[in-house]
Structure 1
Amino acid sequence: MVILGIETSCDETAVCIIEADGPPESADIVIRANITLSQAALHAPYGGVFPNLAKREHIKNLPVILERVLKEAKLENDKPAIDAIAVTYGPGLEPCLWAGISFAQELAKKWGVQIIPVNHMEGHIFSALLRRKDEPASSAGRLEGDYQLLAPDFPALALLISGGHTELDLMEGYGKYRLIGETRDDAVGEAFDKVARLLGLSYPGGPEISRLAEGVRTSASSSPPFALPRPMLHSPDYDFSFSGIKTAVLYLLKKIGPLPTPDVDGLQTSGVVCEIAKEFEDAVTEVLVSKTKKALREYGAQTLIVAGGVIANTHIRSEFRKLGTEEHIELLIPEIQHTTDNALMIAVASYATAMSGVEGLQRITRPLRADGTARVGERNN
C-alpha cells in the first residue's frame, strides 16, 4: 500500500510517501521520500508560533514539497500511483490543520483516492514503534530507508510530551486508547519555552535549556543549587501541572536581579542561568518519571512508550531509559529525528490503524474536519 502523508498541525510542513506491507504488528515500511520544512526561525521573533503566519507558510510550502517528494519517489505528478492520503486532523492549531486538510482533499479529488484522517498524538505513538533495518540517514529533515513496525505487548502505557501536550494514555490495542492523565495547564514543551524566555534564551527554548543544563551536569560547578517545586508530584492521580514551576522561576529571577549579558555570540553562559536551567529540567523530569512509574505499576503495563518532541531532550531520554531498566519493562522511544512533527508518523499510523481491524477503513469515510482539541483517548469518568 502506497500512502502519501501530510502533517501541518503546528509549524512544520511535512510530506512523505511510504510503501507499507504486512500486518500492523510487523509491517515492512519503505520510505520512498520524506521532507519536513521547519518554520522555527520565522516564528522566533514572536517567541512562539503565530498561527496565521504558520497557515500561510503551509499553503505556500505544501505544493513545493509535494513536487519534490513525488520526484524523489519517482512518481508522476498528474496521477501518481498512490493508494491513500493520510492527513493530520488534530489536535493542533486549527488554521494550520485546515491548510493540510484542504490540500489533501484537493489531491484526493484530483487523483481519485481516499483520505485517512490521523490523530497527531497517535502519530507520535507510532513514531516510537518504528525500527530501522539499515543505517541511520545522515541528512537532517530527510528520513529515508527501510523500517519495520514493532508490536508492543499490551497493555502499553504511552507518555506523550510535546510543545502542546502532556498526557498519559493506556493503549490496550491498536486504536484502543484510554486517557489516564494530562496536564491541567501548560504542556511540558510550552513550559520549557516560557522558562527559556524568562532566562533570555532564544526560541525554541527546549534545546537551549538542555544545552545549559548539560553543561552544568558535565562540569564541577560550584554554583549554589536553586530549589524549584515539583507540582503534583504526590497527587493521587496522573495529571500534571507545569505553570507553577514557571512562576517559581519568575519569582526566583526577581529575587536574583538582572541576569548577566549574553556573550558576543548571543549565548547565555552565566553560571546562575545554567543552574536554573538544570534545576528546571530536573524538576520537570522528576515529575514525568514519577507519575509514569506509578502508572506502570497500577495498570500492569507491559510496554512503555515515550514520544513527542520533548523526548529529544538528552536528560529526559536518559532518565526514562533508567526507568525502563529499573522496572524491567520494554521501553520504546523514537529515534531523535522522529521525535519532532513529521509526515512519516502520520502515514505509518494511518496504515497500522486502517489495517488493524479495530476501526478498519471506516476511518477513511468519516467526516473530515480540523479538531484543535482532538484526543487520542477519552477518560473513563
Structure 2
Amino acid sequence: MFGWVDMARLVLALETSCDETSAAVLRDGTDILSNIISSQIDVHKKFGGVVPEVASRKHLEMINGVVQEALDQAGVDFSMLSAVAVTYGPGLVGALLVGVAAAKAIAFALDIPLLGVNHLEGHLYANFLVEPELDFPLLCLVVSGGHTDLVVMSGHGSYRVVGRTRDDAAGEAFDKVARTLELGYPGGPLIDKLAPEGNETAVPLPRAYLEEGSLDFSFSGLKSAVINYRHRSRLRGEAVNRADLAASFQRAVVDVLVDKTVKAAGRFGAGTVLLAGGVAANRCLRETLAGECNNRGIRLVTPPPVLCTDNAAMIACAAYYKFLRGDFAPLTLNAVPGLKLGEERY
C-alpha cells in the first residue's frame, strides 16, 4: 500500500503532549538529523504552571514553523519521509489534538504510514538514542511531572509496570515544593540548582517506603511535610533556610526513587537500568543512582538532559520500532489523554 520498504527510513515525529512543541527527523531509528523544541515555559511561568487552553493555542501557532524547521535542519523535504509519528497520549487533550491533527494531515497528503506513540514509551526510548544496543530485560524508572513508574521492558513494545505513584508524581511534588519555597516555575530545575547550597540532613523529612516489598511510590506526605515545616516556622517567627529545605526535600525523594529502582532491578533480573522523564535530568538523582548501580554491578543508561524533557526525537525513536513491525495507526487516530503504557487505543 505505502511502498515504504524500499524507501530510506526517515521518520518525522511530532510531540505536543504538554507545553513543548517539538518536531524531529530521525534516520534508521537512532540517527538524529534534527530535534526542534519550542518551549512555552516563559508563557506559563506567570501562572505558576501549565494552563491547558493557553498551551493548545501556542501549539497551533508554532506547529507548522517547527515542522518546517525540523525538515530544513535535517536537509530533507516531505517527499523523502518514510513515515510520520505523533504522541497521541497521555497528556493534555487539547495539546495532543494539535499534534495528532498535523500528523494525520501529513500522512494523508503524502500517503505514508502514520505511527501513534505513547508519550511514556517515548521517554523510555530516549535511552536507545544513547545506547541503541541494549540487552533485555531492562528496568526503567520513568520519573516526570505526571508520572513516576517502574517498568520492566522485556522487548521492543513489551512493557510491564511493576511500580507506580499512588498520589503525587515526583515532578509534581518538586513543582509544589518550589512554589511553597517561592522559587518559581518550573520547580524541578530550580530546586536542583538551589539544593547544592544547602545541607540535605538539616531538616528531618519522611520517606514513604509503603508496605514491605512494595515498589510503589508516594510523595504526597513528603510534600505536605515540607509545607507544614515552612508554615510552623512562620508561626514561630523562625527564618527558613530555603537551601537546606530544598536539599533535604530533594534527598528524601531521591533516596526512595533509587532504593526501589535497584531493588526492582534485582527482583526482575535486569542487568541494565534506564532513567527516563523530565526529573531524570536531576543531578542528585543521576549521581546517586549511578553510585548505587555501580555498587551492585548494574549498568545504568541515562539520556542527556535535552532528551529527558519532552522532545520529538524520543518519539521518532519509539516509532521506528513500530515502523519495523508494521504497527501503523489508522487515520481515525484520536488523542487519548489517559493512555496507559503498553496500551494501544487506535
Change (3 A) 1:226 1:305: same
TM-score w.r.t. the length of structure 2 is: 0.92
Q: What is residue 337 of structure 2 aligned with on the other side? A: 372
* SS of alignment partner, residue 65 of structure 1: helix
Aligned AA (2:234): G
Structure 1 residue 5 and structure 2 residue 13: aligned?
Answer: yes
Change (3 A) 1:39 1:330: same
Aligned AA (1:256): S
Structure 1 residue 296 and structure 2 residue 265: aligned?
Answer: yes
The within-5 A match list for 1:120-269 is 120-131=119-130, 149-216=131-198, 225-232=202-209, 235-257=212-234
Structure 1 residue 64 and structure 2 residue 65: aligned?
Answer: yes
The within-5 A match list for 1:318-357 is 318-355=287-324
Aligned AA (2:265): L
* SS of alignment partner, residue 364 of structure 1: coil
Change (3 A) 1:337 1:362: closer
Separation of aligned partners in 2, 1:258 and 1:115:
58
| Contact kept in structure 1, 2:104 and 2:331, CA below 8 Å | no
1:7 to partner: Cα distance: 0.3
Structure 1 residue 16 and structure 2 residue 24: aligned?
Answer: yes
Using the TM superposition, name which of 106-115 and 246-255 deviates more.
106-115
Change (3 A) 1:118 1:311: same
Separation of aligned partners in 2, 1:195 and 1:187:
12
Separation of aligned partners in 1, 2:178 and 2:187:
5
* SS of alignment partner, residue 169 of structure 1: strand
Structure 1 residue 276 and structure 2 residue 245: aligned?
Answer: yes
**CA displacement, residues 26-78 of structure 1 (integer Å, 9 cap, x when unaligned):** x6x332222101101100111111111101101110011122222223334xx
Separation of aligned partners in 2, 1:320 and 1:233:
20
* Unaligned 5+ runs, structure 2: 1-8
Aligned AA (1:48): G
* SS of alignment partner, residue 46 of structure 1: coil
1:363 to partner: Cα distance: 3.6
The within-5 A match list for 1:71-86 is 71-76=72-77, 79-86=78-85
**CA displacement, residues 57-103 of structure 1 (integer Å, 9 cap, x when unaligned):** 01110011122222223334xx4311100100111111111110011
Aligned AA (2:35): N
Separation of aligned partners in 2, 1:248 and 1:235:
22
| Contact kept in structure 2, 1:229 and 1:245, CA below 8 Å | yes
| Contact kept in structure 1, 2:163 and 2:216, CA below 8 Å | yes
1:366 to partner: Cα distance: 8.4
* SS of alignment partner, residue 129 of structure 1: helix
Q: What is residue 100 of structure 1 aligned with on the other side? A: 99
Using the TM superposition, name which of 311-320 and 64-73 deviates more.
64-73
1:329 to partner: Cα distance: 1.1
1:297 to partner: Cα distance: 1.6
Separation of aligned partners in 2, 1:70 and 1:150:
23
Sequence identity, in percent?
40
**CA displacement, residues 325-380 of structure 1 (integer Å, 9 cap, x when unaligned):** 0110111110122111100000011002332xxxx2134348522111212247xx
* SS of alignment partner, residue 329 of structure 2: helix
Aligned AA (2:135): D
* SS of alignment partner, residue 362 of structure 1: coil
Aligned AA (1:336): P
Q: What is residue 32 of structure 2 aligned with on the other side? A: 31
Structure 1 residue 311 and structure 2 residue 284: aligned?
Answer: no
Separation of aligned partners in 1, 2:192 and 2:24:
30
| Contact kept in structure 2, 1:233 and 1:287, CA below 8 Å | no
TM-score w.r.t. the length of structure 1 is: 0.83
Higher helix share: 2
Separation of aligned partners in 2, 1:233 and 1:315:
23
| Contact kept in structure 2, 1:183 and 1:241, CA below 8 Å | yes
Change (3 A) 1:47 1:296: same
* Unaligned 5+ runs, structure 1: 21-26, 132-148, 261-269
Q: What is residue 254 of structure 2 aligned with on the other side? A: 285
CA RMSD of aligned residues (A): 2.0
